[in-house]
Amino acid sequence: MKRFVTALLATVVFAAIFSGFSYVPTSQREPNVYYFGFFETMVFVIIYASPVYFLVGLPSSILIDKIVIKVYGKSKWNRYFWRLGFYSLAGILISVILLVFIQNNDLLEAIPFTICCMIASNIYFHLYLLVSKVMKKNTLVW
């Protein structure tokens, strides 16, 4: 349940961040050119990012967490940094797979897309830590 809630939150947070960066203020817009608004961009990002988060991100997250807990022991900081690295690597690998799938060979487009996927995976990771902490705290209260 934690991972599902995290994927849902991560999709919305990533969409909001992406929309914020891609928004063009009215004062900077060219005449007779259509620009997507903040919420339009957010809806499109949610439509495209949510399947990736749910179909690829959830299984990747389970696999990463099992590997790190099994191999890298009990140190909280050790596990954090290894998980951070593995989540970043997973974002990069997913971007490469998506770029191969859409047959994009342009390096100038591939680098920002890869960075964007790495940021998306790190948003999921940190929200997962937050959701885990909140759910843990709430179960102790009940």
| Inter-residue contact 5 to 130 (CB < 8 Å) | no
C-alpha distances in Å from residue 52, one per residue of 41, 46, 92, 124, 133: 17, 10, 13, 12, 24
Question: Which pLDDT tens digit goes with each residue over 42-95?
Answer: 999 999 999 999 998 899 999 998 888 888 767 788 888 989 999 999 999 998
User: 3-class DSSP state for residue 37?
Assistant: coil
Question: Which pLDDT tens digit goes with each residue over 7-24?
Answer: 999 999 999 999 888 887
Residue with tokens 């998506």: 98
| Inter-residue contact 84 to 122 (CB < 8 Å) | yes
The structure's pTM equals 0.84
Q: What is the 3-state secondary structure (H, E, C) of 74-132?
A: CCHHHHHHHHHHHHHHHHHHHHHHHHHHCCCCCHHHHHHHHHHHHHHHHHHHHHHHHHH
